[in-house]
Amino acid sequence: MKLTLYTDYSLRVLMYLGTRQTDEKVQIDEISDYYNISKNHLTKVVHNLAKLGYIHTVRGRGGGIMLKYKPEDMKIGDVVRNTEDNFHMAECFRPDNECVLTPVCGLKFVLNDALENYLKTLDEYTLQDILPKALMR
């Protein structure tokens, strides 16, 4: 299973914010510079993270972004489920599946089991568990 860049960037934003003080507002530019990621990409990611309820955004002078919840309350599995656009590991997972083997093939069941275990493992970890110590303040 490979995460999309969108999910990767979402996790990076949350990790960066998780290393800051609870009430410390961070600018998108700061995160963009730190990770060397396009500000435009991060703006879209931040907008979506706010829509999903993971972060708080404050507009205007003195504004910025910050986590809405404590890092220990944010499950990585939930973030991945909410930021990945699909989990189509093979053609048989797609709604437009045309694989002729589907009626007799056991691969879908094996891959589905693997996917469920993958997400179950991610559910065992919180944002706190993955925070990079080098960024901690």
What Å distances lie between residue 20 and 65, 74, 121, 133, CA to CA? 11, 15, 26, 11
**In this predicted model, which residue has the larger pLDDT, 92 or 11?**
11
Please say if the pLDDT value at position 43 is more than 90: yes
CATH number for the domain harbouring residue 16: 1.10.10.10
Number of structural domains, the chain?
A: 1
Residue whose tokens read 């990767």: 8
Please say if the pLDDT value at position 111 is more than 60: yes
Residue 63 contacts by C-beta under 8 Å, 6 or more apart in sequence?
25, 57
Mean confidence (pLDDT) of the chain? 90
Say what the pLDDT of residue 93 is.
79
Please say if the pLDDT value at position 120 is more than 70: yes
What Å distances lie between residue 27 and 11, 112, 130, CA to CA? 16, 39, 21
The band of 96, judged by pLDDT with boundaries at 50, 70 and 90, is confident
The answer to whether the beta carbons of residues 82 and 44 sit under 8 Å apart is no
The band of 19, judged by pLDDT with boundaries at 50, 70 and 90, is very high
The band of 106, judged by pLDDT with boundaries at 50, 70 and 90, is confident
The amino acid occupying position 61 is R
53: phi > 0 → left, psi -120 to 50 → alpha, else beta; which? left
Mean pLDDT computed over 38-48? 95
Residue 125, domain extent: 5-135
The band of 72, judged by pLDDT with boundaries at 50, 70 and 90, is very high
